[in-house]
Every structure is written in structure tokens, then in C-alpha cells.
Structure 1
Amino acid sequence: MKTLLPFLLLFLFANCNSKNNPDSEKEDNGQPLCIDLAGNINNTVASLPLSEAAEKMDIVQLETSDKSFIRGVEDIEVTTHDIFVFDRNEGIFRFDRQGKFLNKVGKKGEGPEEILSIWQMMINEAEEEVYLYSLIDKNCIKVYNFDGSFKRVGLRNRMENTFYGPSNLIFSFKHYFFLQQELPILFIENNPEIWSFALTDSCFNIQKKFYNPSLAGKDEEIIQNCAPNYGWKNYWMEGLTDTDTYNQQLIMKYAGVDTIYQYNENNQEFEPYYTILSGEQPSFEMAHQWIKDPAFFKFLWVYELFDTQEYLYLLAGKSNLIHTFRYDKQSGKIAVAKKESTIIERPFPGSPNFVFRELRKKFQLQNDLSGGGDFSVDYKSQGKYWIDECNPSDLLEQIDVDGLKTGKVKDEAARDKLVQVLSTIAEDDNPVLFIATLK
């Protein structure tokens, strides 16, 4: 078997190169296209411009008042006419696209039209509905109109027996709802099946489960390394399944799996869409330990994906470098922009010398539309918008207004709006949003 391994690797490499060639007939043979990150890791460029992915930039200063003061943003959703900001402490704020405060959605309380706490916000633009998901409310999903008025109860039971882990989300796409969860296992007795993604009906009953292939056959080991037994034990955990809904197409990537899948609405299956070659990878145990060994960061590890009309972007890390790969869908060419980052280390007092390690990472492109530095994708919305949430004090400190006025940009109207905003904001105002509309 060892003698066959070099030939197998050579075959895979050659097959990958042929699929990246737009003239290759193998692109039409039903097999997923291959993206060779490891083989193109030195195809570096100084920066990747935002204008390659987005056609328009809106600079929005969110109105600051006693009724609309935001303490901390958890999520932002943008629609054609509205902006919804989820503040864990203050609730859901609705603004128009110019940043004028309109109303709040949902009221905290135990009444039939109130909600005790909000874990997650989902927006249905077509029906003008806001879904609020609570972990502790007896009726754990409540639905409101955009104007903030109560509409109905979306789910009358708590979902505590559905998930096995502490981190769980409901993911909406078109008229579908999916459940997402990740390791570690917390509630072994509730759900021994280790699934990562699940399709539900409109009442949030699971119809079909989807399993991370990297977890297959490891159930017993995963349960042995679960959270309830950890103490100072180094239990196993992983990231959530990463998703993107650009152009009303759902694609996703399981944590630790170098395959990107596309959702087929006809057969309700996730089918291989791209195969990623990342080179040598860490062992399962090294990749999933909560307390990461420093050696883990020596491997090229893909964290997130961002889909657009012409390019697929993949955010990866290796050592203390963030790698932003840009895959050209037409030509198959790959370019990568690299930026230094930091591996955060946080020791735990009283532990046996445990140090939590995590690579600080953000997907950033050069903001050549409005100017003002790099554009960080903090939130994706409706498969159409990328949102960069910026603190006013940071903008005032980091942007040279005179340089901004004379700099070359693709969208001069957006640049002029940014200059205007910088001349009026105060350091303690609500965030300023950079909203990029994808091509």
C-alpha cells in the first residue's frame, strides 16, 4: 500500500490541476472542482480589492438617541429598506437604510407577546417577519412584524432536548430552516447522535440530519472527551459548519473537512461542490482539542468561505499569518493575500498550566470603493450584503480625512458620504456601517 501512495497523490494533484483549467472537459464530468490552496500558497498579491466582489458601498451612520443607543452588537441583518441590529442587552433595533431609527422589535418580559431573552435573530424579508429565538423562554421562537408588533408563536416548546452541545443556532435559507450545532457534547443523555446540520419543517421538527464526515466512527472517543467530564480535562470541540447563501444558493463547509457542499433543493441533499487541497493536516485530536497545541497553528487550516459572482474567497490561517485565498471561478487561478496576525494566549489561573490559544482572524479586503482602509466582513446578510461595523472612535483615530478626500476610489459618492460622516460623528455615537452590495 505504501508504494501506491505517491502515485495516488500524484493522480490527485494532476486531477486538481486539470479541473482548474477552464478548457478541461473534466469540469463537466459531475465531479467537484478542485481548489489547490497548498500548491498556490506562494501566489501572493499585495492586497485583494473589494470592488472585485462588490458593486456598491453605502456608508450608514446609525442614529444615536435615548431610544436607539446600542451597547454591543451581536448581529446585523440588512434588507432592501431596513437595517436590523441585535444588541444582546437592549434587544432588536430597526433602522431605515439611511440610519434613521424606526422602532424596536420585541419586548422583554414573560407575557404572551413578550420574550425573556434573545439568543438569535432571523429576518424573513419576503414576509416582513422577524424571528426571535430564546433559549430559556417556554415558547422559544416568537415572530414579529417589521414594525415591532407581535404576530405569532413560531415554536411553543423549548429545544433543549434537540441539541447535544451548548452552542446551537437556527439557520434560515429561503423557506427552509436548518439547525446547526458543534462539539463539545454537553447533553449526552438527550441526543447520542452526533450530527452537525439538520433540516426541519416549519414547526422546527427535524426532517433530515447531516453528519460531518470527519466525525464518522469517532462517537465513542468524542463522548469520552465531552464537556460534562472535563474539569481541567482537555475536552474536544470544533467550530460551527460555515455557510454562505450568495445568489440564493446555499453552500457549506463542515469544520475540519476540505470539501465544500452545495444544497440541492430537489433531493434535499448536500452534494460535493469543491474539493480543497490544504496540504498536510493535523491529527483529529490535535485539531479538536480545546487547549490547542502550538503545533496546530503550523498547518494551513481553512476557517471560513465567502462566495461572490466571480470569486470564491477562503479565509485560512498558518502560523501567525492570515491567508485570504481568492479562487477565480472562470479561470481556476488562485491568488492569496497574507497578513500578520496574533495567536492569542490566555492562561487559566488555578489550572495545570493550561493556556487557551486562538488565531485572531478577520476576512478583510482593500476598500477601494469608498476608501478608509480595509473592509472587514463582520456580518453577511441575505446572500447579498457584506457589513463592516465600525466604532466611531476607531474611525476618527485611524482615517486621515485629508488623505481620504484626495485618494482615488471607485465610488466617489460613498467616499464623500464617509467624509461627511467623519465630520459629524462623536466618539460615543452608535456604530457606523459600511454596507457592500455584492455584484
Structure 2
Amino acid sequence: MTRQNSRKARGILFSAWIVFGSLISFLYAQNLTGGKVIRLDLQQTAKASGSLKLSDIADDISYVKLETTKDCFFTPSQFIVRENCIYARDRDNGKVLLFNRQGKFLRQIGKIGKGPTEHLGAFTMQASLKGDRVYLFSKKSNRLTSYSSEGQKLSEFAVKYPSWGFAPMSDNQFIFLTPFGFPSPDSSAFFFYLQDNQGNVKRKIKTHRNIPIGGAIEFGRFFINPALVLAYQPFCDTVFEISPKGDFLPRYVLEFGKNRMPDDVWFDRDKFERVKYDYINSVNLLPTKGILFIRFGYQKTRRIGLVSLSDGATKGSKTTSGLIENDIDGGPDFWPGETNGINEVYSFVQPVDLLQKWQRGEFKDRKFRSQADNARFVEMVNSLREDDNPVMVIVRLK
């Protein structure tokens, strides 16, 4: 490789933010499904001073204690809840465990190893709508493997480029995010690409603007629920819905106002690190059927917001924890990590953390909806041991 090509490759390696060319045109006011692009006023959310309460959006909160035995003890990193299935990924070794909705351990999905029915550990995972199929991506092998909920290995194929995230699409196709901006044959870098389960790359989403060496190192991300896949590159302030065929369709426009990071800051890594908290940063979205959950950092605090997808009404709050107040049963405050895409959102708590808060009296004088709701929470806490597996927190939305 020549010095010039090496410099170019290094530039591509540190590229992060994508401007999607014609996709960001404001003339494209509707996506291909006929849905209008929704504008999210993050500046308004950042200024909000009210509080958000769980009872405003939820009918119920429940806790699922995951069984703890020598066969299923794990360090949590990712959960997926689908109908009667709870998939849990172990952070330490990438093994995937399956529990039912009552918390009973059913089986390990595949084994860690190089055998024909094994995998080399899941770096991340996704599941089908009903949970009858789970997809495991291994960075060690750069392969995507699927299993049935019964533990049977269904398929496996090589992923074309080293990737950090993926989402299942239609017709045995998958969208991948590569942080390295690998060059295409025409030497144009890309970050998102569509590949089928035969190893064929069907499409690459090209970059049109790159951050030079020495600039901030930031990458795109997916926001996924079973019915919707969103892709985000903050540099273009647009969140795209990815169609089943891999088309990028504008879904949300993020309006930062005066709190948007100036473009030139991205090109100076030291400056970026010094001033990034002065601007809105680290935007995360979680779309459900009726509500869009928003969370981001601003001025060294976390701001959270809820957007009604029926009328666009927005509520926001400034918090130190980035959580919604749990006034249903007086238990731990809540922010969803994932969703089933319809009316459930969920997260988890570690028993040791919950018990320490209980012992410090942090749940005293908390508001709750009824004595019965609070009693169920108290009973659950009193049944815990510090070394138990995590407790799933599942919220049913209105």
C-alpha cells in the first residue's frame, strides 16, 4: 500500500458522520409508506423543567426474577423480550440464555465453540417478532448465526465487513453498521450496508463527508424494535427508517436550535472533548406503537422526553438519573432499554443495587398508586439475594 493510500485508509478509518446526499433534502417531506417526517424539537425538550411520571404513560409495571442456578448465572449486557421468551446475553463470554416470562431458565442457545452447532459468542443479538428465532452476531468470527427458540441451529453465514451492529430485514437480508468506513470498489467510503444470508452485499450507503484524522471519533447507531429499524447519523440531523428492502427513508428530523454542535468542532478531537457537554449529545430514541422515548445529554445532565406519535405532543424533563419517576408501585425509577414494538418496554435491575437502595431507605415515602401495587414490589425485594440474576422490569404502556 502506498503512503498516499495508507493516509487515505486512515482517514476512512476515523470517518464517522454521514451526510446521506439527496436523502436529507427537505423536498422529501414524506417517506415511501406515506408517513410524514416528524420534527423533534430537542431544544424545547432540553429547556423543559417539569417531571415525568410513569402513571402518565403506563397501566402496569411488573418484575420478573430470572432463575439463578449454576447453569444460568450470567453478567447481563442485553435482553430481548418476545411473547413468552426472554433472551439474555452474557457480557463476559457472549453466551445467550433463554428464560420464560415467569423467569424460569429453559436452555442455553447454542454452545460456545467451533463445532458445527456452536458459535464463538454473541457480541450483539436480535430476535424475530414472536421470539421463535434469535440471531447472534460474533465479532470474533465475523459471522451471523441463527437459532430457533428450541436451541436448534438454523443458519450461519460470514459477514462481509467487520461490523458493530445489525438488524434483520426481509427476504433473509440484514442491514449492518461498520465503524471503519470500508472503501467500495470506487473508493467511496460507506458505513451502512445491506447483505443477504448468502454473503452477497446488495447495497452500500455511501458517505459524502468525512471527519479528518484528528477529529472526533463517533459512529452511527440503530434504534430497533421488531416492527421498525431506525438508523441515525447525527451529522445530518436526520433519523432514517430502513425499509424491508434497505431503503433509507427520512422519519425524524432532530431540531437542535442553538444547542447543535458546530460542524468545525467535530474536526478537532481535543476541542470536541472539551465542549461536547455544552451541546446536545448522545441522542437515543426508542420507538413504540404510540410513544417515542427520547434521551440525550446536555450541560452534564440527562434530558428525557416523550413524544406522542398521534399528535406530536412532547413532554420533557431535566434529570440527573435520566429516569421516569415510578409512582405506580413506589419501586425503582425507570427508563426503557428495549421494546416489543407495541405496548411493552423493559429494562433490568441488579438485585445487589436494589437491595442496597432498599437498605439505605431510598424507597421510603415514595408515591405509589395503591397499597396492593406497593405490597407486590416490597414482596419481590424481600425475596431477593444480592447474588441473584437480574430482575427484568417490564412496563405495559397505555
Q: Report the TM-score, using the length of structure 1 for normalisation.
A: 0.71
Once residues 106 and 410 of structure 1 are traced to their aligned partners in structure 2, the CA distance between those partners, rounded to angstroms, is: 43
The answer on whether the counterparts of 2:45 and 2:317 sit within 8 Å (CA) in structure 1 is no
Change (3 A) 1:244 1:109: closer
Q: Cα deviation per residue 1:208-239 (whole Å; 9 max; x = unaligned)?
A: 2335xxx5233xxx4x52xxxxxxxx454213
Question: What is the aligned partner in structure 2 of residue 154 from structure 1?
Answer: 156
Higher mean C-alpha displacement, 321-330 vs 376-385 = 376-385
Question: What is the aligned partner in structure 2 of residue 178 from structure 1?
Answer: 174
Once residues 371 and 85 of structure 2 are traced to their aligned partners in structure 1, the CA distance between those partners, rounded to angstroms, is: 23
AA matched with 2:316: V
Deviation at 1:369, TM superposition (A): 3.1
| 1:257 lines up with 2:245 in the alignment | no
Change (3 A) 1:176 1:334: farther
Q: Which has the larger radius of gyration?
A: 1
Once residues 348 and 99 of structure 2 are traced to their aligned partners in structure 1, the CA distance between those partners, rounded to angstroms, is: 14
The answer on whether the counterparts of 1:144 and 1:151 sit within 8 Å (CA) in structure 2 is yes
Given candidates 379, 385, 390, the residue that maps to 1:431 is 390
Once residues 374 and 203 of structure 1 are traced to their aligned partners in structure 2, the CA distance between those partners, rounded to angstroms, is: 44
Q: Cα deviation per residue 1:238-279 (whole Å; 9 max; x = unaligned)?
A: 133242437x243443233322333445x7522223322211
| 1:338 lines up with 2:297 in the alignment | no
Could you list the runs of 5+ residues in structure 1 that have no partner in the other structure?
1-14, 20-28, 226-233, 341-361
Partner of 1:141, secondary structure, is: strand
Question: What is the aligned partner in structure 2 of residue 10 from structure 1?
Answer: none
Given candidates 204, 210, 222, the residue that maps to 1:209 is 204
Change (3 A) 1:284 1:53: same
Given candidates 36, 39, 43, the residue that maps to 2:41 is 36
User: Alpha carbon RMSD of aligned pairs, Å?
Assistant: 3.4
Given candidates 121, 140, 143, the residue that maps to 2:125 is 121
Once residues 137 and 34 of structure 1 are traced to their aligned partners in structure 2, the CA distance between those partners, rounded to angstroms, is: 40
Deviation at 1:127, TM superposition (A): 7.1
The answer on whether the counterparts of 2:78 and 2:88 sit within 8 Å (CA) in structure 1 is yes
The answer on whether the counterparts of 1:143 and 1:154 sit within 8 Å (CA) in structure 2 is yes
Where do residues 182-197 of structure 1 align in structure 2 (5 Å cutoff)?
A: 183-185=179-181, 192-197=187-192
Once residues 100 and 299 of structure 1 are traced to their aligned partners in structure 2, the CA distance between those partners, rounded to angstroms, is: 45
By relative contact order (CA 8 Å, sep 6+), the higher-ranking structure is 2
Question: What is the aligned partner in structure 1 of residue 68 from structure 2?
Answer: 64
Partner of 1:376, secondary structure, is: coil
Where do residues 259-408 of structure 1 align in structure 2 (5 Å cutoff)?
A: 259-265=238-244, 268-280=246-258, 281-287=260-266, 291=270, 292-301=272-281, 303-340=283-320, 363-381=322-340, 385-399=344-358, 408=367
Change (3 A) 1:92 1:384: farther
Given candidates 75, 88, 92, the residue that maps to 1:89 is 92
Could you list the runs of 5+ residues in structure 2 that have no partner in the other structure?
1-25
Once residues 131 and 354 of structure 2 are traced to their aligned partners in structure 1, the CA distance between those partners, rounded to angstroms, is: 36
Partner of 1:336, secondary structure, is: strand
The answer on whether the counterparts of 2:183 and 2:189 sit within 8 Å (CA) in structure 1 is no
Deviation at 1:197, TM superposition (A): 2.5
Change (3 A) 1:86 1:201: same
Question: What is the aligned partner in structure 2 of residue 75 from structure 1?
Answer: 78
Given candidates 419, 427, 438, the residue that maps to 2:378 is 419
Q: Report the TM-score, using the length of structure 2 for normalisation.
A: 0.78
Deviation at 1:116, TM superposition (A): 2.6
Once residues 277 and 270 of structure 1 are traced to their aligned partners in structure 2, the CA distance between those partners, rounded to angstroms, is: 19
Change (3 A) 1:87 1:124: same
Number of residue equivalences: 364
Q: Cα deviation per residue 1:29-54 (whole Å; 9 max; x = unaligned)?
A: 98633333325643321x21234444
Deviation at 1:307, TM superposition (A): 2.2
Once residues 85 and 44 of structure 1 are traced to their aligned partners in structure 2, the CA distance between those partners, rounded to angstroms, is: 36
